[in-house]
Structure 1
């Protein structure tokens, strides 16, 4: 018989169901994690380059202190005491916007926002298409609509024209079509939820020696009301904290002390003797009183 022509298939047992679930390969998963990590690192670098002012990517983020960056260079919209606006001076890497370049974002509803200058005047567009800050309240002319497309953003004014610069570096809104020269970045220095420092539990405040004592007080009880602190030093706790396994190390040290929690010291003839007292070895006399054990120790 010619076995070379036999169709060989995997062995399938009776009642066995074939799994159709597809698993993402380890390589692809690693690439995804690497991509997310590099994206987060890139955002952190961008924020640091602009003095801690981060890139707003949604309308709801455009509240509080804001700055309008013109293009990719560290140049911001700058308010003048005349009520007009111009392009500010370029900033060095790591510097944030100047006080006269800081605006205040106010939600205006209907996917729009209002911007107030440091002179407490709202930004709007006049009849000549100039961006001016002379209004004391928010009206139709003082509303701006952020337009997002392909990761970039432009600001649309009430006259349906986009914010940009003219030949004299004055801030205007005169072009109905957004080009590369109309791309802006709204930056904020508000503390985001992801940037808030994690609250340190009360037990973990202070030195490592105090931290261990706090956790011993919290989780362990001794019948003689005395604390039992591990005597091995805190060198291993220091390395555990650096590795992010401080709680595991503290638990391990407490478990060692818990195994010896029934030791008690008794004096006999001026000399201290230690006797391990086991709960299972308790004995009571005829009157319900604990009988003395053997040696220098006694049963509880």
Structure 2
């Protein structure tokens, strides 16, 4: 009998049950880690977008489509001229200021790794015989196809002549270097929504970019005693994350309260 007493009691353990439980825990842990990393990446993109008028930096080829802008330096974008040439636009100084219309182009994926770009003048970007990147072509061909190369968080653009795109000292867009150095590093920015909403249940005042949201709220709550629309033009830091958390209304009212110009503010 003493031998039976030495045996520890407990729940019945089935063969393979512990292994399944362990693998399930590992799967859930990896899933939570991925969700956490994805959330952090979205937060970083959101903060970056706030500093560039809602335009976020593309980090994957699949996102190079639709309306984009090519940033050649800090808040300095490629500017299309009506003669088909390109130059650098003036640096943008405010966080609410995104790329100007001549700095916006349309990205058209043509394969799993190559993309074509079309200017607002309806012309495709291509490389001419002088290795200049110009926007004068009415159709896409090999010269009008570019390959974005992502590596270590950086992006360079490879042209059809196996040279990377950069700006020279005169501000002209060229494809002359067969190596990607600091001068060839660019940023492609998109104004596409960062998160696709499963259900469009947002009130009208919360739709559009952050400045449009604030204008809508001001129109809704301002008394208009002086018949002027008064907007808080300070940096909209934190509004993007507030919208994601469903607290945009409160954040906008806080901004109105700081101005002390609306008797309806809390």
Compared with structure 1, are the counterparts of its residues 15 and 153 closer, same or farther at alpha carbon in structure 2 (3 Å cutoff)?
Answer: same
* Cα distance between partner residues in 1 of 2:168 and 2:187: 18
Cα distance in 2 between the residues matched to 1:170 and 1:10: 83
1:38-65 CA-to-partner distances (Å, cap 9, x unmatched) read 3322111111211112222333322221
Question: Residue in 1 aligned with 2:139?
Answer: 137
Specify whether residues 127 and 10 from structure 1 end up closer, same or farther in structure 2 by C-alpha distance, changes over 3 A only.
Answer: farther
Q: Deviations over 1:258-285 (max 9, x none)?
A: xxxxxxxxxxxxxxxxxxxxxxxxxxxx
SS at the partner of 2:110? strand
* Counterpart Cα distance in 1 of 2:153 and 2:137: 31
Q: TM-score, normalised by structure 1?
A: 0.56
Partner of 2:107: helix, strand, or coil?
strand
Rg comparison, structure with higher value: 1
Q: 1:10 to 1:177 in 2, by over 3 A?
A: farther
Q: Is 1:96 the counterpart of 2:93 in the alignment?
A: no
- Structure 2 vs 1, CA of residues 17 and 136 (structure 1 numbering), >3 Å: closer, same or farther? same
Flag the 1:13–1:144 CA change in 2: closer, same or farther, 3 A. Answer: same
Does the C-alpha gap of structure 1 residues 31 and 117 become closer, same or farther in structure 2, counting only changes over 3 Å? closer
Aligned partners of 2:140 and 2:68: how far apart in 1?
17
Deviations 1:56-96 (A, max 9, x none): 2333322221111114x111111112211111111122311
Measured in 2, the distance between the counterparts of 1:51 and 1:38 equals: 20
Provide the residue aligned with 1:78 in structure 2: 79
Residue 191 of structure 1 deviates from its aligned partner by 3.5
Matches within 5 A, 1:1-40: 11=8, 16=13, 19-20=18-19, 21-22=21-22, 23=25, 35-40=37-42
- Equivalent-residue separation in structure 1 for 2:158 and 2:146 (angstroms): 6
Map 1:267-278; keep pairs closer than 5 Å.
none
The CA deviation at 1:122 is 0.7
TM-score (normalised: structure 2): 0.62
Greater RCO, 1 or 2 (C-alpha within 8 Å, sep 6+): 2
Instruction: Tell me how many residue pairs correspond in the alignment.
Output: 194
Distance 1:12 1:166, change over 3 A: farther
Equivalent in the alignment of 1:253: none
Select 1:43's aligned residue among 42, 45, 57: 45
Distance in 2 (CA, whole Å) between partners of 1:93 and 1:153 is: 23
Q: What corresponds to 2:243 in structure 1? A: none
Whole-Å separation in 1 of the counterparts to 2:131 and 2:51: 32
Residues 1-300 of structure 1: pairs in structure 2 closer than 5 A: 11=8, 16=13, 19-20=18-19, 21-22=21-22, 23=25, 35-71=37-73, 73-91=74-92, 92-109=94-111, 111-191=113-193, 194-196=195-197, 198-200=199-201
2-side partners of 1:145 and 1:29: how far apart? 32
**Shift in Å at residue 14 of structure 1?**
9.0
Q: Which runs of 5+ in 2 are unaligned?
A: 1-5, 205-245, 248-266
For residues 50 and 8 of structure 2, the distance between their equivalents in structure 1, rounded to whole angstroms, comes to 59
C-alpha distance in structure 2 between counterparts of 1:171 and 1:129, whole Å:
9
